[in-house]
Structure 1
Amino acid sequence: MTFEELLPILGQATAETAQMVFWSTLLTALLGLPIGVLLVTTDRGGLAPLPKVKAVLGAVVNVGRSLPFIVLMVAILPFTRLLTGTTIGTVAAIVPLTLGAVPFYARLVETALRGVGREVVEAAQAMGARRVTVVTKVLLPETLPELVAGLTVTVVALISYSAMAGAIGGGGLGDLAIRYGYQRFDTGVMVVTVVLLILLVQLIQILGDAIARRLAHR
């Protein structure tokens, strides 16, 4: 395949990858953040200790993190079809991408929140702050750089997941590499795709690190 033929296909594949990663990142942040907060607040000694809830939630998160992504994609095909009406394409790939990343990010959120000193929380409570206020005004602001860093790691993982989604027709750069590179034995397409994925990961990592550093200096 010539470069002129590859360019429009590469542009479309890059746009599909960006779409998958953007929406799955947004959904992961919206779902993973509260789950991570609940893992901390419902633990023994937390703001709202509910050991049974913590045990169930922790078990669900552990199961989600244990499943290899390619297995998860296949296992939830009926659920994906229920939500999107199809099991192939960019929109369908967002479902397993999100479900695979939420447990991962939730644990990163939990780790970040546990780094806040107990004395900081107790000081806020002594001043009459309610539990919701402690979370929104103390825990989350104190750990914002770590939360951004964790989200950056999650986005990088999602880029890798999105490439694997191409194995079942998820579209994007992974699909391009499989259909045009591997199946047609076109080494040039494979090399270009891999280089583009590496550049995309580096860009995300640099941007995320810069934002985290800036937040840490405030």
Structure 2
Amino acid sequence: MSYGDAASSAGAPRMPRKGFKLVLLGDASVGKSSILMRFLHNKFSEEIETTVGAAFNTKTIESRGRQVKFEIWDTAGQERFRSLAPMYYRGASAAVVVYDQTNAVTFERAQEWVRQVMSTSTNPNIVIALAANKADMEDKRQVPWEKAEAFAQQEGLFLLDTSAMSGKNVLRLFEGVAELLPDEPFVPQQRGLQVTTNVGSTNGAGDGKPPSRRLCCQ
């Protein structure tokens, strides 16, 4: 399943473009693919297909005077695909872990995902965001925001309250990750762990000073 490439708007100033691998992680039905569809096309569908294995998409956004090309792997959340996830995130520059705030079990699993990424990623500076999805169903919330906030602060995560249905904070989620990325994409030494495409560069550059690696609770 692929939603296609969505590039930055025509006529915008051209800046250096770098490809950063980003992986979406989380249990089944938490809304990973819906978040991605909202980010790529600003659309929402109740009939979205279940991801099998992983789906690949790209989108380029502007951040800190540069064009950041996200190379996004949307991974399946079913248990039978769980063992495949490290193949996608080990060489990633960023990971977005999603949970359904109306389902406490998915938050517990999200914590496991975060710790797994931190302990096994080949990138010691991987940017990790935590998306508390389905904010439009706040009346059914099972995970107190304070609990998510405490975990994010403890682990140094970029935390946002999101809704793929309404679009709340979805763009900000990816913009926040882009702001935290270093100037250069992570390149793993191990062969076969990185999936990238060749991208050109044009005149202009950032200030060479990456921001803090992570921040919490926007």
TM-score interval for Structure 1 and Structure 2 normalised by the shorter chain: under 0.3
Give 1 or 2: higher strand fraction.
2
Computing the radius of gyration over CA atoms, which structure comes out larger, 1 or 2?
A: 1
Give 1 or 2: higher helix fraction.
1
Structure 1 length-normalised TM: 0.28
